[in-house]
Amino acid sequence: MENGLKPMDAEQLRENAHRMVDFIADYYKSIESFPVLSQVQPGYLRDLLPDSAPHQPETLQDVLDDVRHKIMPGVTHWQSPDFYAYFPSNSSTAGFLGEMLSAGLNIVGFSWVTSPAATELEVIVLDWLAKILKLPEQFLSSGRGGGVIQGTASEAVLVVLLAARDKALRKFGKNSIERLVVYSSDQTHASLQKACQIAGIYPENYRVLKTSPSTNFALDPNVVCETISQDVAAGFIPFFICATVGTTSSTAVDPLSALGKIAKAKDMWFHVDAAYAGSACICPEYCHYINGVEEADSFNMNTHKWFLTNFDCSALWVKDRSALIQSLSTNPEYLNNKASQENGVVDFKDWQIPLGRRFRSLKLWMVMRLYGVENLQNYIRKHIKLAEYFEELIISDSRFEVAAPRTFSLVCFRLLPLACDQDDGYKLNYNLLDAVNLSGKIFISHTVLSGKYVLRFAVGAPLTEERHVKAAWEVLQDQATILLRGL
């Protein structure tokens, strides 16, 4: 590599990284000028880039020019203040700096010995976060439990499902897998279904229990009890209940205490998925939503959603770490080391699917230190206030309705169908979604609740202010007027 960029050269790094930081800072400064949802067609990039990699090095300037003109049109701007789709995925200066440091050190911290600080900082910051959330002591590293950073909530639910499955198989015999049954609601994230598929749970043994507006789309413990009783009578083995605090469609909150008690009585694993709403529970006024977490075996929150920690960083706590380790541990000779054998150190490779792992705790640590708990709480409160404001705007226009109770920073709403509407507003709201997203001015997403096509307005991007919510509402109102005029 005589010409161009060397793989490692401190001065070249300094110069080029400064240019990259400038590029990113300029991007954040001008982020509102981009269409929030990328407007390109599938395959657009194939026509813009060469068929094969360059034989000779190019310059960073060439690459950045291509990023500007060819990549940026194909980017959906998740950090835009006008992004209200899905759930937010926060970037922040602290999170970004932590990512940068992690990229710079570029360690692969699968065992304690491969970088003791990576393991020990992860243990400490997850204890910190557990204390902020007031999780029961059993989830802290000082006892039999502890926290671990997974990449995503999907990985979190998979690893605990594997631990629960193996615990059940040890008890009932390895041939009993065909009788193992999992319970959740029809509002549970699809990651549990995927976890069941991977874990070899028979598809017909995953009970997706129906919810309704009568419980605000929360899981009814009576339905769980009845279903479990029927299953036991039929010779099945109930072994896993997943509850959600803040479901993806409407942020429903399942009753943790009641579900946890059922799980305990039947010796089942109880997992709580608070991927999105866990962040809100750092505020004293919202932490009651996780009352009952003391019954849980595992608890998960995505700090990369609404906790200013750049993707990816999903915090998982378990009460009994040995259950995870029994399922996921392997000990090949080439990884053997004195510390693992003698000192009882944590080797996080045994708490997750892959071997290699990034130094993700750095960014979570920096977020907590550089913002502090009080600012993080105020950050959550601000978004919830903005969602309340949007909800008031919806209520003020009789053409719209709020379609599910708002609990956190998500508002589910829809344009009311006219009396002559054949499909209860399905097409009307589908077209409204399409029109506002095509405008490039805002990006929202949708769901279906009780058969109704519903629009989701999830406040939570770090740059969103009241003026953005007001402007978003005007975009929705204008497009609704155009659509209704055309009917």
Ligand X SMILES: Cc1ncc(COP(=O)(O)O)c(C=O)c1O
**Chain residues in the site for ligand X (CB under 6 A):** 87, 152-154, 189, 191, 244, 246-248, 273, 275-276, 302, 314
Closest approach, Cβ 144 to ligand X, in A, equals 26
Closest approach, Cβ 262 to ligand X, in A, equals 21
Nearer to ligand X, 244 or 437 (CB): 244
Closest approach, Cβ 60 to ligand X, in A, equals 32
Closest approach, Cβ 443 to ligand X, in A, equals 15
Closest approach, Cβ 226 to ligand X, in A, equals 25
Closest approach, Cβ 407 to ligand X, in A, equals 13
Nearer to ligand X, 140 or 161 (CB): 161
Closest approach, Cβ 244 to ligand X, in A, equals 5
Nearer to ligand X, 273 or 350 (CB): 273
Q: Which amino acid is at 205?
A: N
The answer to whether residues 269 and 241 touch, using CB atoms and an 8 Å cutoff, is: yes
Which residue do the tokens 């899905």 mark? 86
Nearer to ligand X, 38 or 152 (CB): 152
Closest approach, Cβ 90 to ligand X, in A, equals 13
Nearer to ligand X, 301 or 393 (CB): 301
Nearer to ligand X, 16 or 193 (CB): 193
Nearer to ligand X, 237 or 252 (CB): 252
Nearer to ligand X, 114 or 352 (CB): 352
Nearer to ligand X, 111 or 150 (CB): 150
Q: How many residues in the chain?
A: 487
Q: Is 207 helix (H, G, I), strand (E, B) or coil?
A: strand
Closest approach, Cβ 229 to ligand X, in A, equals 28
